[in-house]
Amino acid sequence: MGAGKAKFEGSFTQQEPLPEDAIAAALDVLRHGRLHRYNLADGEAGEAALLEAEFAAHTGARYCLAVASGGYALATALRALGVGPGEPVLTNAFTLAPVPGAIASLGARPVFVETREDLTIDMEDLAARAGASGARVLLLSHMRGHICDMDALGDLCARLGLTLIEDCAHTMGARWRGTPSGRHGAIACYSTQTYKHVNAGEGGLMISDDPDLMARAILLSGSYMHYPRHRAAPPPEAFARHRLTTPNISGRMDNLRAAILRPQIPMLDARREAWNARYRRIEEGLSGAPGIALIKRRVGEEFVGSSIQFRLPGREGAEIADFVAACAGRGVELKWFGAPEPHGFTSRYAHWAYADPPVLPRTDAALATLLDMRLPLTFSLEDCALIARIIREEAEALGGAG
């Protein structure tokens, strides 16, 4: 880095403070001490049960369950569908480690599906691998908020007899053609971990319209026989069918996290707008930059731009590593999905050796030069303009056409 070059001083991992009403609600829970979701005073609903009712209403789902993490939600969704050891489960090759990890946690087998250039699942390959593996479940990850054509995917799943679980860890608050992300499959799972669209440190949410799936999920999560205390749960008959045959695999959410989350649910729309303003500012700053290719977003995809991805087409690994280092030297943190070794939160399918992944040439091509950047809401629009300028200058400094 030469003298006089601008440097960004902000933090890529600093979130906004929690809203004051979330802090007040958390203090109330701490003061009364009833943190366990089933520890309720007479007539009290409890924060966890209220959160479930409010998130169900927000998404339009009939039922909702709050759990300990997004990864736990994914595993519970698979268990609720009866996925068992050795069973193949289709999933995107472009996702993060908790997704195949949830499949592996049941002793089931991830079957990775190829990735299109726009970072969504390759439906042709999905059909081929569904046929070859005999899988009956697709765990679809809306990775980094990229939503495929959900109408086409729904038709394909129906044709292939696949049950769809949506991993909405990166699409809470997003929509496909006006329908909330998570309303296209049998079950959807969300994460409420700090780097997601609502922040409780850890946590997860599941939604479904299916009474049997949700009764099983609630029982699995460790409801003991307290399920009547839920407010976004199926009717007693559904529990009667499953209560003695469903194991307790505890992973409940507590009232403290739920209290922190409740005031954040109505903020999701405003947060989407705030994130997208930042996303668009970076996109504007990078558009037309020599050597940089942005990912085209599809019509109908109302995404949440909490991160942005772009490529350096034609660049070799060493050049990309130098570029990432040069940006880091100027305060801009990029993650490279083509890196030979996993780093921090970032890994890719080839690194998950336990799942014995095949070589997926289209995914390799899609990820080889792919860079990824978080956009915390603590960045101002001016910050975003500066970040884009730094990236652009460093891409120009690479010289020669990539």
Contact residues: ligand PLP, CB under 6 A: 69-71, 95-96, 98-99, 141, 143, 167, 169-170, 191, 193, 204
- Identify the H or E element spanning 253: none
Nearer to ligand PLP, 224 or 345 (CB): 345
Least distance from C-beta 113 to ligand PLP, angstroms? 15
Nearer to ligand PLP, 59 or 95 (CB): 95
Least distance from C-beta 24 to ligand PLP, angstroms? 25
Given strand 187-191, what is the order of strands in its sheet?
63-67, 204-208, 187-191, 163-167, 137-141, 88-92, 109-113
Sign of CA dihedral 12, 289, 320, 4: negative
Distance CA 231, CA 341 (A): 45
Least distance from C-beta 196 to ligand PLP, angstroms? 7
Least distance from C-beta 205 to ligand PLP, angstroms? 10
Distances (CA, A) of 171 to 64, 148, 180, 229, 294: 17, 12, 9, 29, 19
Nearer to ligand PLP, 78 or 292 (CB): 78
Least distance from C-beta 276 to ligand PLP, angstroms? 19
Nearer to ligand PLP, 302 or 372 (CB): 372
Nearer to ligand PLP, 39 or 307 (CB): 307
Chain residue at closest Cβ approach to ligand PLP = 70
First to last CA, the chain: 21
Distance CA 102, CA 383 (A): 36
Residue pair 165/183 in contact by the 8 Å Cβ criterion: no
Least distance from C-beta 143 to ligand PLP, angstroms? 5
Nearer to ligand PLP, 59 or 91 (CB): 91
Rounding to the nearest 10 degrees, give the CA dihedral for residues 145, 148, 149, 150.
-70
